[in-house]
Structure 1
Amino acid sequence: MMIVDTSKQQRQSQKPKMLVVDDEPDNLDLLYRTFRRSFQVLRAESGQEALTLLADCGEVAVIISDQRMPEMKGTEFLSKTVSDFPDTMRIILTGFTDVEDLVEAINAGQVYRYITKPWDPDELKDVVHRAAETYELMRQRNQELLESRQQTQLMLNIIELVNKTQSPAAMLPPLAQALRQSLEASSCEVFLMADESSIGDQGSDGASAGLADSTLVQTAIAEKILQQQTADAQTQVVLPALYQQQLVALIALQWPLSHISTVDAIAWLEAVSRQVAIAIKSLQ
């Protein structure tokens, strides 16, 4: 699970991507001018060119494609994007004579809406903006489902480690590995507390950040709350694992500098720390 992310303000400042596909350059230019203020608009003059562009640029929020193009119809092109980009919203521009193809595409979930030619600019703008909102909602929902599955799996992994090991010290290396992988960190260190103020045994996975004697760790011990700092091009987090207010262990994690912890991510980290504290106490 990715515990770090760019800030909401930064995400909102980025325009969503749109791909417009039409074999008529004038139509492409018109669509580009219509949406360039709200979207990053990519252009292609054929279905094959559009597929190549998607392979290079990745997922887009919305695709607008003409239906009648040489070599590959719009519905055929859109059907080829479904498996790789299931969340993308697909809009087709069509004449009245293409109803059969459209019904098949819509029933197969390949087309979000169709717009008949000549299109009304205001109608098209409204449809596209609603499509972009739907895409964002679906993307968030799928991300939440993925994170929920990853959280559940991590908890199961911790329980399995408790059942397989005989002591807290023996559990530390595989526990650090499980935490690093699940939280998608570059490194993870887990420190057992010898007493309320000093560190005992240690287990690590990934490139060690060498935090055992750091001010960050000492502050986490003293205050018993999550500590975070940026140093040496890395974001470092030290998380106290408390059991009934007793400091049982510390979890030190590191991510690339370009990411910061979000409120939801910190809440999840704190839930992880509680589970780790319970697991360690069960082996003592």
Structure 2
Amino acid sequence: MSLTKPKKPKMLVVDDEPDNLDLLYRTFRRDFQVLRSESGAEALTLLSTEGEVAVIISDQRMPEMKGTEFLSKTVPNFPDTIRIILTGFTDVEDLVEAINSGQVYKYITKPWDPNELKTVVQQAAETYNILKQRTEELHRAQAQMILMQAIVQVTQVSDNLENSLKIIAQAFGDSFCADNCIVQIVEDDRLIETKGTYTKSESITNSLENDPLVQDAIASLAAGIATHQIQSWVNIPGETVPAVAEYYQNTNIQVHLIVPIISHSKLLAFLSLQWQDKDRQIAEEDLKLIHLSAQQIGLAITSTKKG
């Protein structure tokens, strides 16, 4: 199970005829979060803000930019997205080239049969899920390698604790595409200034002192309650404590993980992973890798502190 609740997959429909857009929207709105654009250029702008979608359905004959040209422009940033062309005329050369190059999954002729289109889109969504699963497995393997390299570097190369923490923060930040990562030492059940940070966004604070998740974890420590579990916060409207939601909104954080770093049953530090993407999904396998790697990092920190 993922950290965030499953959402409807996103679909983008592109057609310069508003009636067609409305029809496509009504056809798929129950199963997809349907985004609409009336041109290829407008659709590219929309994708730049909305991010990856599972399926794109585009008309072929549109002013200024043909459907195949528009779809080809989406491939570099969204290789896993499945693309479908609607065509009302015979444009064999463009379609064959687009299909052979992997830019188009299938084409549907106008006027389309609703049941046929639904079947094709369902198959496309299933294909997208398979591709995403494979991509995530590859990224997870790469993340594991990056983290293991960081552990080796910390234990064998780093000459002081702060350098070690910076190496760790960058490794976790890179591995899980976090906008911000902090690894901060805990002594006597409180945070101290010693920490390592990695950030891709200047709009996120690098401080954990006032963070609600950290405060809860430290309060648990003071009360003698073991704090060995990952804690998380996700910006889900209507399902969060108002004061906590306000804190994270002010810090531009949409998803936050706090991971205790433990060695020999002792809390050494907190690992903080922060994302600004409201649609960020964290799979159970990623959580397991984060938790396991954090404990291995605990051994590396202990070794560095002794050194």
SS of corresponding position for 1:43 = strand
Number of the residue aligned with 2:185: 190
Instruction: Give, as a single letter, the amino acid of the residue that structure 2 aligns with 1:86.
Output: P
- Aligned-pair CA distance for 1:92: 0.6
Kept in 2, the 8 Å contact 1:158–1:175? The answer is no
Q: Identity over the aligned pairs, expressed in percent? A: 47
Partners of 1:30 and 1:260 in 2: CA distance: 30
Instruction: Give, as a single letter, the amino acid of the residue that structure 1 aligns with 2:209.
Output: A
Number of the residue aligned with 1:89: 82
Rate the CA distance shift 1:279–1:53 in 2: closer, same or farther, 3 A.
closer
Partners of 1:47 and 1:247 in 2: CA distance: 57
2:195 aligns with one of 195, 198, 204: 204
5+ residue gaps, structure 1: none
- Aligned-pair CA distance for 1:264: 3.3
Kept in 1, the 8 Å contact 2:262–2:298? The answer is yes
**What are the equivalent positions in structure 2 for 1:68-147 lying under 5 Å apart?**
68-95=61-88, 97-147=90-140
Kept in 2, the 8 Å contact 1:67–1:94? The answer is yes
- Aligned-pair CA distance for 1:99: 2.1
1:225 to 2:228 alignment: yes
Rate the CA distance shift 1:227–1:36 in 2: closer, same or farther, 3 A.
closer
1:21 aligns with one of 14, 33, 46: 14
> 1:89-115 CA distances to partner (integer Å, 9 max, x unpaired)?
110112462222211101111001111
Number of the residue aligned with 2:271: 253
Q: Over alpha carbons, which structure has the higher Rg? A: 1
Rate the CA distance shift 1:62–1:272 in 2: closer, same or farther, 3 A.
same
1:214 aligns with one of 214, 218, 226: 218
Partners of 2:118 and 2:228 in 1: CA distance: 48
After alignment, is 261-270 or 25-34 more displaced? 261-270
Partners of 1:163 and 1:276 in 2: CA distance: 13
Rate the CA distance shift 1:229–1:128 in 2: closer, same or farther, 3 A.
closer
SS of corresponding position for 2:86 = strand
- Aligned-pair CA distance for 1:83: 1.4
- Aligned-pair CA distance for 1:225: 3.4
Rate the CA distance shift 1:151–1:218 in 2: closer, same or farther, 3 A.
farther
Partners of 2:218 and 2:135 in 1: CA distance: 38
SS of corresponding position for 2:271 = strand
Partners of 1:59 and 1:111 in 2: CA distance: 16
Number of the residue aligned with 1:179: 168
Rate the CA distance shift 1:236–1:216 in 2: closer, same or farther, 3 A.
farther
Partners of 1:229 and 1:25 in 2: CA distance: 42
Rate the CA distance shift 1:19–1:226 in 2: closer, same or farther, 3 A.
closer
> 1:113-155 CA distances to partner (integer Å, 9 max, x unpaired)?
1112222111100111221222233233323322332232122
> 1:169-190 CA distances to partner (integer Å, 9 max, x unpaired)?
x23x223323333144553213
- Aligned-pair CA distance for 1:198: 8.1
Kept in 2, the 8 Å contact 1:236–1:252? The answer is no
**What are the equivalent positions in structure 2 for 1:7-86 lying under 5 Å apart?**
7=4, 10-11=5-6, 14-86=7-79
1:269 to 2:290 alignment: yes
- Aligned-pair CA distance for 1:161: 2.2
Kept in 1, the 8 Å contact 2:12–2:36? The answer is yes
Give the length in aligned residue pairs: 264
Kept in 1, the 8 Å contact 2:55–2:125? The answer is yes
Instruction: Give, as a single letter, the amino acid of the residue that structure 1 aligns with 2:291.
Output: E
Rate the CA distance shift 1:147–1:38 in 2: closer, same or farther, 3 A.
same
5+ residue gaps, structure 2: 197-205, 234-242, 249-255
Partners of 1:199 and 1:34 in 2: CA distance: 55
Kept in 2, the 8 Å contact 1:216–1:227? The answer is no
SS of corresponding position for 1:97 = coil
Partners of 1:163 and 1:209 in 2: CA distance: 31
TM-score by length of 2: 0.70
TM-score by length of 1: 0.75
Partners of 2:281 and 2:83 in 1: CA distance: 33
Partners of 1:176 and 1:118 in 2: CA distance: 60
